[in-house]
């Protein structure tokens, strides 16, 4: 899977939004498919027009490293899931809680080129991950 720095560089390289959308879809194709038994109501992200599932894993430390799996039934949204995971997966809970991915997406111009429904879904994914991280830090 591409790193966040790689994704930001690739976005800067691609001038046309058509190419950027294709790139987001490509990122989604690289995302490992989520096992059927993880596509549960508990793992479903509320506030997304498409179906989106997020699963978190913790290493159990005081400030745990969290890793995430995710999937969607829509190609472009699956790519957005891949980008969100590039921002957050593999980081400490305290770092995740302090990182606003929407700010990063604004910087690369992603949010302004999404439909309002997709932008809201993106915010819902980010909010859910940061809430989980905040809960882990508080515990």
CA distance from start to end of the chain: 30
Contact 86, 4 (CB under 8 A): yes
Q: How buried is 36 (Cβ within 10 angstroms: 0-12 exposed, 13-18 middle, 19+ buried)?
A: exposed
How many other CB atoms are there within 10 angstroms of residue 11's CB atom? 18
Which of the 8 DSSP states describes residue 44?
B
User: Could you confirm whether 5 is annotated as catalytic?
Assistant: no
DSSP letter assigned to residue 38: G
> Which residue among 48, 66, 84, 97 is the active-site one?
48
CA-to-CA distance for 64 and 85, rounded, in angstroms? 16
Tokens of 10: 């690739």
Instruction: Give the catalytic positions in this structure.
Output: 48
């Amino acid at each position: 899977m591409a790193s966040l720095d790689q994704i930001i560089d690739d976005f800067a390289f691609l001038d046309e939004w058509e190419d950027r959308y294709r790139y987001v879809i490509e990122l989604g194709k690289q995302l490992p498919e989520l096992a059927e038994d993880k596509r549960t109501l508990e793992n479903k992200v509320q506030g997304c027009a498409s179906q989106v599932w997020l699963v978190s894993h913790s290493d159990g430390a005081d400030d745990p490293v969290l890793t995430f799996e995710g999937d969607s039934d829509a190609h472009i949204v699956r790519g957005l899931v891949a980008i969100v995971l590039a921002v957050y997966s593999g980081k400490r809970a305290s770092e995740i809680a302090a990182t606003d991915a929407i700010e990063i997406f604004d910087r690369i111009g992603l949010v302004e080129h999404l439909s309002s429904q997709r932008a809201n879904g993106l915010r819902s994914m980010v909010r859910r991950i940061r809430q989980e991280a905040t809960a882990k830090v508080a515990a």
